[in-house]
Amino acid sequence: MTRFAAILAVGCAFAYLATGVFFLLDPTSAHPAGSDAYWQALAAEPFQRKGFLAAFGVAGLLAIGVIPSLGRLVRARTGDPAQWGCLLGLLGYAVTAITYFRLLGGEALRAAAVAGGSDPTREAILSFSLSLDTQGWIIFGCVGMFLALVNGAGLARRRLPWPVGGLGLVAAGLYGIAFGGLLFGDQTLVKVAAGAGGVGVGPVWWLCIATLLWRRAR
């Protein structure tokens, strides 16, 4: 099982790398959120946007399979902060997968209806969201707490090397920045966190975790 978790962690690293690349290339991010140009760009179903949504959803699914083995690696015990962090991680990644696969299947249709609909139609559609977590409390907040608690426990118990645990804490900080950007409507913070975390820190950390789990399995 540990070896299988290591393989999933490698897949997670590549999924997060794809998430960061697609996010930075997404043409919809060039328009102010909620503007007519933004909705028209979403309705056009750009490949980069669909790639971002699919990669983020896949990353969430793969991460769920790694967390139990990661918890054993850092010796998470019943009732301690590390186990609570693992539970937060499972919740955060599950909501991530559901939300982004839901967006993948319905976002473009919703955007087309908004872009071409009358004012009452637009208001009715915009009164709800396809996202299960519009402000990022679970997708970014819970996952950030998972990364902070698990890496912190791994370092304190000497179960993670300092470079790996430190990188995980940096990833937790980037999740916190992304959460703050969503909460306060600052897209610059979101882009900075996505660029640094998705393209750099996140994939490297997941590859390191994959290596540690593979060695443990041997």
**How deeply is 211 buried, as exposed, middle or buried, from its count of CB atoms within 10 A (0-12, 13-18, 19+)?**
middle
Q: Quick check: 41 pLDDT over 90?
A: no
**3-state SS, one letter per residue, for 163-213:** HHHHHHHHHHHHHHHHHHHHHHCCHHHHHHHHHHHHHHHHHHHHHHHHHHH
Q: Is the pLDDT of residue 66 over 90?
A: yes
Query: What confidence score (pLDDT) does residue 117 get?
Result: 72
Higher pLDDT, 145 or 121: 145
Query: Average model confidence (pLDDT) for the chain?
Result: 90
d(C-alpha 200, C-alpha 203), whole Å? 6
Query: What pLDDT sits at residue 72?
Result: 94
Q: What pLDDT is recorded for position 139?
A: 94
What percent of the chain lies above the pLDDT cut of 90? 61
For 76-117, what is each residue's pLDDT tens digit?
Answer: 988 899 999 999 999 999 999 999 999 998 888 888 888 777
Average confidence (pLDDT) over 111-127: 76
Domain ranges in the chain are 2-217
What sign for the dihedral angle of Cα 208, 212, 213, 218?
A: positive
